[in-house]
Chains A and B, each alone.
Chain A
Amino acid sequence: MTEDRGAPASESIMVVGGGISGLTTAIEAAEVGYEVFLVEKNPYLGGRVSQLNQYFPKLCPPSCGLEINFRRIKDNPKIKVFTLAEVESVTGTPGDYDVSIKLAPRYVNENCTCCGDCAAVCETKIESDFDFGMKQIKGAYQPFEMAFPARYVLSPQIIGTDDAVRCKEACQYDAIDLEMETSTLNLKVGALVWATGWEPYDASKIDNLGFGQYENVITNMMLERLASPNGPTKGVIQRPSDKKDIESIAFVQCAGSRDENHLPYCSYICCMASLKHATYIRERYPDAKIYIFYIDLRAPGYRYEQFYKRIKEDENVFFIKGKVAEVNEDPATKNITVVAENAVTGEKIHQTVEMAVLATGMQPTAANAKLPADLTYTEDGFIINDFEKGGMFAAGCANKPADVVSSNQNATGMALKAIQTLVNR
């Protein structure tokens, strides 16, 4: 073999965010031969996609690709993963950064075997953020079955209670450490890639669409959890108020997106996501009526267009071009009426359905909390990449709204940009 001069470099790369973009950047860079620190604030890797039931347009489970990516991490000692970790500060210049990372306590150490004895004795139940509060889970939990790292976590809510002590006593492997404290870790890296991802836009801010007021109005991400085999209902989709099978459902596109009062941009994925959701409903209810209210159906390119065409063939899926003006509930039946004006015919539509799904958009994580580094942002909180300056880059939805394929293309490219910083130092 000739000398490996491309790699490994003496320096390393930090990737902030362990969602699909961050995973991609981290693994792709490590497989070139660079040392990578992957920093994730949740107790697990996988980010938003781990909450999804299926990807459009293939309708394949995200856990399939995640499992391969986790295996690539397991097989590659060059990647160091930190979960429950957040970057506190970044100082320095391209090629030479000092990063301080805050590690929150997991209260469970590497002895954990995922046997589940702690959860069995834990009495406290907490709301699962992973399931958008639709499920109560034990205060000692494994985030989801295929979670990486495969280790339990204790909710801070049970720390200091008898429950925590019970969990500790139940553990045969001395894996629970209630004395764990927040700690700080300082690392030197040559480049950083911010793959901090997105959050679903807070639907309760959209007053006219009834979320948070009416039980049978949910968001698209909540529907993903309902459809997931590991979700709160194990994949059963029923209407929330009375667990009734669904005969009619409406999808409200651009719920917050393309709206100057909320998110002025298009969130890229919601049209395709709702088309995919129509397949979730159809798979479970062969005759349910599905109404999709949209401004434009953004299914660009041959693959998405083909998918859209397939959904259009279903005679019980109705597409209505019109922005939804309001969503009301009949208090007696808990049915939902979606009010919109058909933009083509001018006709005012009052469509009553059993439940409605708001296709809420994506907001960059940095919109609500700026990152502790010298970065520039768009007005909406997306990180602007400055390739001239180099050193720090944004990948995936931290940079712009995108689907998974585009995010992964982008994230792979950002691995190269990070490597260039090291090479050219």
Chain B
Amino acid sequence: MDKKYGVYICEGCGIGDALDMKALCDIPGEEGVPSKTHSFLCGKDGVALLKKDIEEGTNTLVIAACSRRVNFDVFRFDGCIVDRVNLREQVVWSHPRSEFPALTEDQKGDEEHFDRLEMLAQDYIRMGMAKVKKIDLPEPYKLDNFSRKILVIGGGVTGMSAALDAAKTGYDVTIIEKEALLGGNAVNWRKQLPMQSPYEELISPIVVQMIQEVESASRITVKTETVAARIAGEPGNFVVTLKKPGEKIEFDVPFPIPDEMKVDEKGKELNAEQLHEKFMEYNEGKNDILSMDPEGEAFGAVILAAGWRPYEPEEGEFSHLGYGELADVVTNAQFEEIAKKGKIARPSDGKEASSVVFIQSPGAGEDDSDFEYAGSVTSLVALKQAKYVREDFPEGKAFLFYQHMRTPGLSENFYKSLQQDPGIFMTKGQVTSVSKNGDGLIVEAENTLLGDKIQVKADMVVLATGMVPVTKDDPVVNLAYRQGPGFRDNALFLDYADSNFICFPYETQRTGIYAAGGIRRALTVEESMEDASGAALKAIQCIDSANRGVSVHPRSGDMTFPDFFFQRCTQCKRCTEECPFGALDDDEKGTPKPNPTRCRRCGTCMGACPERIIGFADYNIDSVGSMVKSIEVPSEDDYDDPPMRILGLVCENDAYPALDIVGLNRGSYSAEVRFIPVRCLGSVNVIWIKDALSQGMDGVFLLGCKHGDDYQCHFVKGSELAEVRMKKIGEALSSLALENERVAQFQIAIDEYDKVPQIVNDFAELIEDLGPNPFKGF
């Protein structure tokens, strides 16, 4: 587009009182760019002024006023490039004139005094102008092939429920189920927990009715005894190869090679082509991820509802509870099977088991945890099974030993309904042993509500063992992604395919694939069905976003996507390896193949690229680099004691709002720092830091989200990767004879705005102590 520039500076909210408007207008003036000031730019008259100029052809606007976090709608003009220069929150509100005085007439023009605030504002105007020159309006990415169909992996309650929900919303769905029949675990149940108020009575498993519904739904195709050999492609156009379980086919998904295979005998890293060779050797008989199955079926999105399997205790794992040694000690899943067959009979001799002990916590030592992979559902299942005993035998007795009866929310009603039953005894207690007692069992427990030490005779003992996500055994989704076939970092979640985000529970590291049900957490049927609806919505939303050419969460609606200048690619593979979402697949030479609809637009690839060949229409190496270069760095030629210049690259999601709040609260911090918001710290390319230092800036810091297991980075890995890069930059600095301390990264949460001034000022002080950058003035 032919850009026609305009700079608009608001005088309101104290900006005009604190700053010399004429001097600010001189900056665009020097470049021949028209500028206008207005006392209240976001008001009706101000907006009318902008609209009039737009009508007359201005299409590239620098609006120097308040933060881009506010008046977002007022200053949005279709078809125009707009950059917001934050003169309010990050200049005048956070740098009061009382602390940063203006120059007196005498001081103006001497080499001793300077107006720090004015310099700050002027730099920001320069930076805004530099940026708009380098950015363009985005055009949406269009997929050549596009499918609206949804693939549901898993034909249990969750999968069927998601399929029904998506079908009712008008989407075609294919369910694949590895077993011969639909239904999953639920078909093995005698009864099911209640799903609605008053949550008191067991119900017949709804799975039966659900299977009928699925089988008669015209939009749903069911493929039993089927698994995904591989899922290639990207949201909107996943290309899926299906197969029978256990079959070996050439489109089985290949696995990345282990680290030890990535080096030669001498420990030297292999190059891209050698790596690919090893990869193909390692995956003999399988096609590379980039060879698309011509017979593959296209899907727009995937719902991962492959569920859970009952925990199988290892040999001797619960020997104090007799499991594995005494035939009548079983897990809850085994007990359910027995109960499903008819009257409860014990495994050892088939005799009626009218007295059953249920154990909710393994209770070794001080530990009061439930069994691994348990949840409130396992507490509820113990209660359910206690009711079976009472259903089967009028004189039956069920004893429950728990450490904590975990029946939260309205499920408390179910627990309460059992408390009325004279044949059900429940107590907190630590079960110390289960042993043989004639042809029955004897259970010993301590610290119970019924006494310090008690013994209970029983026909059977049932352990409330957990629900293991099938992702523990197998990636299941089998993604033909260079980073590997499964979700990454599931180890953080005990192998559940869960999200680490409390606010955004469907966000994982794989766009377009939404997990639901027992594969995420131990859940009841009711909870799984709710989760299935949510996952179905996200799948639909992803398909429609891909169709519109926009990103999904957290940059929902963003039309930009990374663009690669391949001629200069050196096949270093860093972008492919660092992308938190596995959006890139490199070919046998190591050249990345972008999959734009997998991309979440964080820019981590752009930050990783040493050749700087990756960029977005409105955010790229040059746009930020030009902003950095537009900062004026005063030297001793200008002033006797020139002020320092520090660059702050800040995460726009959390750190930038925190900086705004400092201004809103009229806090203050050093006026020597120039902030540039970045999409994510992961997108920070070290060239910007080198640019800053080589033009004489005295220090650079990154301000972004906390990382570690409880990461707060909205793009999962960004702040962590940035820290790794910052550590490496130290070597580059020493080669320039610059101190490592000149570059730093700080982690803050969005609500730690009170700490921001200190972080900024401490860093400024440290740089002051180091003295000026020796490159200054060159």
Shortest distance from the beta carbon of B640 to any chain A beta carbon, whole Å:
37
Contact (Cβ within 8 A) B369 A305: yes
Q: Which residues of B contact A258 (CB under 8 A)?
A: 412
Set of chain A residues within 8 Å of B197, measured between Cβ atoms: 378, 382, 384
Cα of A419 to Cα of B538 in the assembled complex, Å: 12
User: When the two chains form their complex, are residues B502 and A404 in contact, meaning their CB atoms are under 8 A apart?
Assistant: yes
B549 at the interface (CB under 8 A from A): yes
Is the CB of B754 closer than 8 A to any CB of chain A?
yes
Distance, CA A309 to CA B522, complexed state (A): 18
- Of the candidates A32, A228, A300, A344, which one forms a contact with B540 in the assembled complex, judged by CB atoms under 8 Å apart? A32
In this complex, what residue of B is CB-closest to A144?
A: B661
**Which residues of B have CB within 8 Å of A419?**
169, 537, 540
CB pair A413 B753 closer than 8 Å: no
Residues of A within 8 A of B541 (CB): 28, 31-32
Interface flags, A3-21, vs B, CB<8A=1, else 0: 0111100000000000010
How far apart sit A68 and B376, CA to CA, in the bound complex (Å)? 31
Q: A298 touching B408 by the CB < 8 A rule?
A: yes
Q: A75-B556, A234-B754 are in contact. Are A401 and B537 (CB under 8 A)?
A: no
The size of the chain A interface, using a CB distance under 8 A, is: 90
Contact B168 A420 (CB under 8 A): yes
Which A406-425 residues have C-beta < 8 A from chain B?
406, 408-417, 419-420, 423-424
B169 pairs with A64, CB closer than 8 A = no
Interface stretch of the complex, out of B56-64, B65-73, B113-121, B178-186: B65-73
Q: Which of A196-255 contact B (CB under 8 A)?
A: 228-230, 234-235
Check if A400 is an interface residue, CB within 8 A of chain B.
yes
What 0/1 pattern do residues 13 to 34 of B give for CB contact below 8 A with A? 1100000000000000000000
Nearest opposing residue in chain A for B549, CB measure: A1
Chain A CB within 10 A, most for which of B197, B405, B665? B197
**Are A302 and B496 in contact, with the CB atoms below 8 A?**
yes
B548: CB under 8 A from chain A?
Answer: yes
B168, A409: Cβ atoms under 8 Å?
no
Cβ-defined contact, A321 with B428, below 8 A: yes
B544 within 8 Å of A by Cβ? yes
Interface string of B519-543 (1 = CB under 8 A from A): 0011000010011111011101101
User: A94 interface residue, CB < 8 Å from B?
Assistant: no
The residue in chain A whose Cβ has the minimal distance to the Cβ of B402 is A296
Q: Which residues of B contact A411 (CB under 8 A)?
A: 534
B-contacting 9-mer, from A109-117, A125-133, A155-163, A184-192: A109-117
The smallest C-beta distance from A70 to any residue of chain B, in angstroms, reads 8
B712 close to chain A: CB less than 8 A: yes
CA distance A386 to B532 in the complex (A): 17
In the complex, A367 has a CB within 8 A of chain B: no
CB <8 Å contact, B665 and A69: no
Most chain A CB inside 10 Å of its own CB: which residue of B43, B502, B527: B502
- A409 x B530 contact (CB < 8 A): yes
Residue A172 interfacial (CB < 8 Å): yes
**CB under 8 Å from chain A, chain B span 464-506:** 493-494, 496, 498, 500-506
- State in angstroms the CA–CA spacing of A72 and B653 once bound together: 12
Min C-beta distance of B378 to chain A, whole Å: 8
Complex contacts, A321 vs chain B, CB 8 Å: 428
A112 to chain B, nearest CB (A): 10
Nearest-Cβ distance from residue A333 to partner chain B, whole angstroms: 33
The reply to whether A145 and B449 contact each other, CB–CB distance below 8 Å, is no
- Pair B531/A413 contact, Cβ less than 8 Å: yes
Let me know if B586 is at the binding interface, CB within 8 A: no
B284-292, B734-742, B744-752: which lies at the interface: B744-752
| Interface size band for B | 35 or more
Once the chains bind, are B409 and A378 in contact (CB under 8 Å)?
no
User: Any chain A CB within 8 A of the CB of B407?
Assistant: yes
Q: A340 to B712, alpha carbons, bound, how many Å? A: 40
- Give 1 or 0 for each of A263-277: 1 = CB within 8 Å of chain B CB: 011111000000000
- Which A42-74 residues have C-beta < 8 A from chain B? 53, 55, 58-69, 71-72, 74
Q: Does A173 contact B (CB under 8 A)?
A: yes
Tell me whether A402 is interfacial, beta carbon within 8 Å.
yes
Q: Is A76 an interface residue (CB 8 A)?
A: yes
Interface string of A123-154 (1 = CB under 8 A from B): 00000000000000000000001100010000
B556 A114 Cβ-Cβ under 8 A: no
Are B410 and A265 in contact (CB-based, < 8 A)? yes
The reply on B40 being an interface residue by CB < 8 A is yes
Within the assembled complex, what's the spacing in Å between the Cα atoms of A7 and B706?
37
Partner of B406, one of A5, A71, A114, A296: A296
Distance in Å: Cβ of B613 to nearest Cβ of chain A:
28
Taking the nearest CB of chain B, how far is it from the CB of A404, in angstroms? Answer: 5
Q: How many A-B residue pairs have CB under 8 A?
A: 261
- Binary interface encoding of chain A residues 254-295 relative to chain B, with 1 for a CB under 8 A from any of its CBs, else 0: 000010000011111000000000000000000000000000
A395 CA to B498 CA in the complex, in Å?
21
Contact A296 B537 (CB under 8 A): no
Name the contact of B710 in the complex, choosing from A60, A173, A228 (C-beta under 8 A). A60
The residue on A at minimum CB distance from B557 is A75
In the complex, A2 has a CB within 8 A of chain B: yes
Task: Let me know if B654 is at the binding interface, CB within 8 A.
Answer: yes
Please give, as numbers and ranges, the residues of chain B lying within 8 Å of A108 by CB-CB distance. Answer: none
State in angstroms the CA–CA spacing of A62 and B750 once bound together.
9
**In the complex the two chains form, is A378's CB within 8 Å of B198's CB?**
yes
Set of chain B residues within 8 Å of A64, measured between Cβ atoms = 503, 653-654, 712, 749-751
Mask, B406-433, CB within 8 Å of A = 1, is 1111111100100000000000100000
User: Is the beta-carbon distance between A309 and B412 smaller than 8 angstroms?
Assistant: no
Which of A7, A60, A300 contacts B408 (CB under 8 A)? Answer: A300
Please report the C-alpha to C-alpha distance between residue A297 and residue B710 in the assembled complex, in whole angstroms.
Answer: 23
Q: How far is the CB of B387 from chain A (nearest CB, A)?
A: 19
Q: Are A344 and B428 in contact (CB under 8 A)?
A: yes
Q: A6 with B409: in contact, given A68-B653, A114-B70 (CB under 8 Å)? A: no
Q: What's the minimum C-beta distance from B412 to chain A, rounded to whole angstroms?
A: 4
**Is the pair B530, A229 in contact by a Cβ cutoff of 8 Å?**
no
Q: Is B148 part of the contact surface with A, judged by Cβ < 8 Å?
A: yes
Residues in B neighbouring A72, C-beta threshold 8 A:
553-554, 556-557
- Which residue of the partner chain, among A33, A298, A402, A413, contacts B533 with CB atoms under 8 Å? A413
State which of A27, A60, A75, A378 has its C-beta within 8 Å of the C-beta of B502: A60
Does A343 make an interface contact (CB < 8 A)?
yes
Q: In the complex, what residues of B have CB within 8 A of residue A104's CB?
A: none
Q: In the complex, A362 Cα to B142 Cα: how many Å? A: 47
Q: Is the CB of A58 within 8 A of B503?
A: no
Residue B643, interface by CB 8 Å: no
Interface of chain B residues 648 through 697 with chain A (CB within 8 A): 653-654, 657, 661, 664-665
Q: What's the Cα separation between A362 and B561 when bound, in Å?
A: 44
Known: A75-B557, A145-B664, A172-B12. A405 touches B537 (CB 8 A): no
Known contacts being A64-B712, A172-B12, A423-B169, is A413 close to B537, with CB within 8 Å?
yes
Q: Is the CB of A28 within 8 A of B710?
A: no
B92 CB, min distance to chain A CBs, angstroms: 11
Residues on A close to B: CB < 8 A?
1-2, 4-7, 20, 27-29, 31-33, 53, 55, 58-69, 71-72, 74-77, 111, 113-115, 145-146, 150, 172-174, 228-230, 234-235, 258, 264-268, 296-303, 305, 309, 321, 343-344, 378, 382, 384, 400-402, 404-406, 408-417, 419-420, 423-424
The 28 sampled A-B contact pairs (Cβ below 8 Å) are A1-B549, A6-B169, A31-B553, A58-B500, A60-B706, A67-B654, A68-B504, A69-B503, A72-B553, A77-B73, A111-B43, A113-B12, A113-B42, A115-B14, A228-B751, A268-B408, A268-B409, A297-B368, A302-B496, A344-B449, A400-B409, A408-B503, A408-B504, A409-B506, A409-B531, A412-B538, A416-B536, A424-B168
Enumerate chain B interface residues (CB-CB to A < 8 A): 12-14, 40, 42-43, 66, 69-70, 72-73, 140, 142, 146, 148, 165, 168-171, 196-198, 368-370, 372-376, 379, 402, 404-413, 416, 428, 447-449, 493-494, 496, 498, 500-506, 521-522, 527, 530-534, 536-538, 540-541, 543-545, 547-549, 552-554, 556-557, 653-654, 657, 661, 664-665, 706, 710, 712, 714, 749-754
User: Beyond the given A404-B503, A412-B506, could you list 4 further A-B residue pairs with CB under 8 A, ordered by the A residue number?
Assistant: A146-B661, A409-B505, A416-B533, A417-B533
